[in-house]
Every structure is written in structure tokens, then in C-alpha cells.
Structure 1
């Protein structure tokens, strides 16, 4: 590394604001945990009032969380929560809902087909693709193990 780039790197580190790493981790942990507690409350409500079982309650709970996230994003509330919590809102399934609806809102002026439809799944598309591919690989492995254990 040259002397000039070394001096610049030293200068950059001296003026860069220090991030409160521990504080940010605690906020992300608490908000992410609260989102999970809310999801568990939705699951429990579905099991109690709508007779879902533990095996069948996952999909409606996930869909409900994504729907609520999309509503909160549309009203600008989720972005304020995300500013406070950071990664605590990005990691759960709510981050997926936020990514989809944010792209749709951003490109709505370009029309429903070219704007919303064309851009809505740019970021979320990779999540869907790798989620489906991972599920396929796991199902294939499970099928092969079931086949070999039955021989």
C-alpha cells in the first residue's frame, strides 16, 4: 500500500463516526424477538380459534405477517421501525414483505405492468428462487435417504 493511500485510510478512520455496535445488536435482537413473539401470538390465535394444528398453522401465519408488513410499509411505519431496529426487521419473514412492497411503491409511477409488476420481485426474486431450490434439494436428499433406508 502506498504512503498516500495509507494516510487517507488513517484520515478516513479518524473522521468516521463510531457505531454503537453493542447497542445496535441489542436493538436488533429485541425488535426481531418481538416480531417473532407477535408471529407466535398469531399462530396461537389461529390454532385456538380456527382449529389449525401445529403442522398446518405455519403458512397462514407467514402470510399474515407478510400482509401486515406490507400494510405497515405502505403507510411508512415499517421503515421507521427498520431505522430503529436495523437487521432486527430484515432477518424475519417481515423483511421479505418489506422488500417486495418497497420495490412496488418505488416503481408505481411507471405503471402496473412495467413498474410494479416488473420491479416488485427484483430483490425478492432471488429469495424465492433460492428458497425453492433449497427446498428441492432437501426434498431430494430426504427422498434418497428414505429410499436407501427402505432397502
Structure 2
């Protein structure tokens, strides 16, 4: 069979497959992600306000306990299997950085717990965390270089 005939067959197959593929409810998925992600952020803001007014933290120091509580909530919900159901419903809405990262770490720890604490939990949990830490550090470095160059160029 010639290459041209093969290309025609491939294109015909792609057209047939695309016709039978179910349409994705993009707008509906975006709305669900927006509201669930917004609700997670609302909880974070409520926690921050709680720490600001109840324990007399200031704007800077109230962030630390807020993040710790959000991480704890995400890990507990992951452990009880609730976070995955929320993620299934909302899709990207649960990818709010701190809770999504806590879910990923806890899920890996739960999945590999039978292999032991060090090689199972520790080794596999950081397969997920490693790339995030590396790419986060590289991105921060690149942004810092761009900011420094911009300040040097604009004089500010």
C-alpha cells in the first residue's frame, strides 16, 4: 500500500472517530471548576480571617497556619476518600496549588504504604513532589532573573 493511500485511510479513520466521540461539556466543566476552586479559596480566606481576629496574627503571619490547616483538611479528605470524589466532580477546581499538592502527596503515601515507610511511602511520595519542587524552583529563578533585568533596564 502506498504512503498516499495509508494517509487517506488514516484521515478517514480520524474523521470517523471524531464523529463518534462524545462532545465534552467544556463550559459546564469550567463552571464546576471555578466554583469548587473558588470555594476552596473561600475556605482559605475564612481561615486566614479566623487566625487574624482570633489569635491576633498579622497579615503576614496568618498565612502559615492557614496553609497548615488547608493541607491538613486536604490530607484528611484524601485519606477518607472524599477529596477524590470532589476532584472527580469538579475536575481542575481541586487543583488549587496547596490542596492539590497535599492530595497528590497523601494519595501516593496511601498507595505505597504496604511497601514500607522509607522505600514505599517516602520513596514514592517524592516521585510526585520532586518534579513540582524542581520546576517551582527553576520557575522562581527565571522570574527573579527577568525581574532583575527589568528593574535594571527601567531603572526602578
Category of TM-score, reference length = shorter chain: 0.7 to 0.9
1:112 alignment partner, one of 99, 113, 117: 117
Name the residue aligned to 2:18.
13
Question: Which consecutive unaligned segments of at least 5 residues does structure 2 have?
Answer: 1-5
**Closer/same/farther in 2, CA of residues 49 and 139 from structure 1, 3 Å limit:** farther
Cα 1:5–1:136 shift into 2, 3 Å:
closer
What RMSD, in angstroms, separates the aligned Cα atoms of the two structures?
2.2
> How many pairs are equivalent?
148
TM-score between both structures, scaled by the size of structure 1: 0.87
1:77 aligns with 2:108: no
Larger radius of gyration: 2
Give the aligned partner of residue 131 of structure 2: 126
What is the TM-score of this pair, normalised by structure 2? 0.84
Query: What displacement does 1:132 show?
Result: 3.5
C-alpha contact (below 8 Å) 1:32/1:92 kept by paired residues = no
Aligned-pair CA distance for 1:101: 0.5
